[in-house]
Structure 1
């Protein structure tokens, strides 16, 4: 159990429900198109910021599988940061360094 889990369990049940409800409200995007719309950007905006052609942005938003570096570039074009967290046996492990290494290796 991590610190956040302990903190949540220490809250009264009504507050736990309120936090859970609010976190669900904040996580509203289920795909890249929804994420882009959430921040008010167009495919053309993403194209200009990433250097991808607009048609490629459209294809990317429909893909289920892509390189971490491509996903990172897309998220950063929206003003965000890609975070990768594995939840294994109740332990949360930040794997974001994998995306950062993909950035460094793509420069060579």
Structure 2
């Protein structure tokens, strides 16, 4: 009889699971906007519709080397998320940057 995924996971050592999870989070953190959109199961047309823009505008947003924070925030919200900004300083202090819409 075939084993379920949950049964197979139980056989993997916790340290292996932790390493795999850390690697997955690292991969996700390095995703481009278009990769993030695709991972959310959306195409450019769907995002454009949610933002009330034309599809070529989404292509431009995704290919820009630099984007306005307000544009990025709207894009992330169209994907169903929320953009959060944090400033980290060498002394260990972290400050949450409040939205400025």
TM norm structure 2: 0.72
Match of 1:94, SS state, is: strand
Q: Which residue of 2 aligns with 1:53?
A: 54
Q: Which residue of 1 aligns with 2:84?
A: 83
**2:73 pairs with 1:72:** yes
Aligned length: 85
Structure 2 distance, partners of 1:23, 1:93, is 24
Greater relative CO, 1 or 2 (CA 8 Å, sep 6+) = 1
Which residue, out of 72, 75, 94, partners 1:92? Answer: 94
The runs of 5 or more residues in structure 1 that have no matched partner are 1-13, 104-108
The Cα of 1:24 is off from its aligned counterpart by 3.3
**2:24 pairs with 1:25:** yes
Give the structure with the larger helix fraction: 1
Bigger radius of gyration: 2
The runs of 5 or more residues in structure 2 that have no matched partner are 1-13
Structure 1 distance, partners of 2:79, 2:22, is 21
The Cα of 1:61 is off from its aligned counterpart by 0.3
Structure 2 distance, partners of 1:20, 1:82, is 26
Structure 2 distance, partners of 1:46, 1:53, is 9
**2:45 pairs with 1:40:** no
The Cα of 1:21 is off from its aligned counterpart by 4.2
The Cα of 1:94 is off from its aligned counterpart by 1.5
Match of 1:85, SS state, is: strand
